[in-house]
Structures are given as structure tokens and as C-alpha cells.
């Protein structure tokens, strides 16, 4: 099972590396587009990286509803692991 801390650490690392976002800005309340400056391409890439890292599938309709870091954390901490 994926934990909140694992998801936050991954997002903080990715956003700092890819966009230069300070890790302390990546909070559960942070809006992905407004606060963290992610555009639609960034969001698609983020979903793909999350799927790879945590071995889950994020349906397009669910991904489209993820507006905050908290939304991402909630999904990943409750999603069943993908079977390979």
C-alpha cells in the first residue's frame, strides 16, 4: 500500500527537479495548476510518472478531476496496486 509520505516525497522531488518548485510549496492543499504552475502537458506527464512509480493505473476521468496534491494523494493511497 502506498503511503501519503511516499506520494508527497515523490511529487516534491519531481516538481523540484522538473519545474524548480520548492518542496515546501507542495502541500496537500496546493492546487496543481494555480499554485504549482502545472500546465496540461505537465499534468499528463505527472500522471504517467505516478503510474510508473506506484504501479497503478489512473483512469483519464479520475486524472482530470485531480486538482490538488491532496486529490493525488487520496487516489494513490486508496487505489489497488496494478497487477503485472
Phi, psi of 68 (to 5 degrees): -125, 165
Residue 48 in domain? yes
Q: Look at residue 48 in the predicted model and tell me its pLDDT.
A: 97
**Marked catalytic residue, from 24, 31, 35, 39:** 39
State how far the alpha carbon of 76 is from the alpha carbons of 34, 59, 66, 69, 73, in Å: 21, 12, 11, 11, 5
Predicted pLDDT at 4: 96
Determine, yes or no, domain membership for 47. yes
On whether residue 9 sits in a domain, the answer given is yes
83 falls within a domain? no
Phi, psi of 32 (to 5 degrees): -60, -40
60 is catalytic: no
Range of the domain at 33: 4-78
pLDDT-flagged residues of the chain (< 70): 81-84
Q: What is the reported pLDDT for 84? A: 40
Number of domains observed in the structure of the chain: 1
Per the domain annotation, does 8 fall within a domain? yes
Query: How far is residue 20's CA from residue 75's CA, in Å, rounded to a whole number?
Result: 25
- How far is 79 from 47, CA to CA, in rounded Å? 14
Q: What is the CATH number of the domain that holds 8?
A: 1.10.1200.10
Amino acid at each position: 500500500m502506498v503511503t501519503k509520505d511516499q506520494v508527497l516525497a515523490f511529487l516534491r522531488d519531481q516538481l523540484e527537479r522538473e519545474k524548480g518548485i520548492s518542496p515546501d510549496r507542495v502541500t496537500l492543499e496546493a492546487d496543481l495548476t494555480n499554485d504549482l504552475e502545472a500546465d496540461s502537458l505537465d499534468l499528463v506527464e505527472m500522471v504517467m510518472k505516478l503510474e510508473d512509480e506506484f504501479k497503478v493505473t489512473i483512469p483519464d476521468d479520475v486524472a482530470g478531476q485531480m486538482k490538488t496534491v491532496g486529490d493525488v494523494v487520496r487516489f494513490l493511497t486508496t487505489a489497488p496496486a496494478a497487477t503485472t
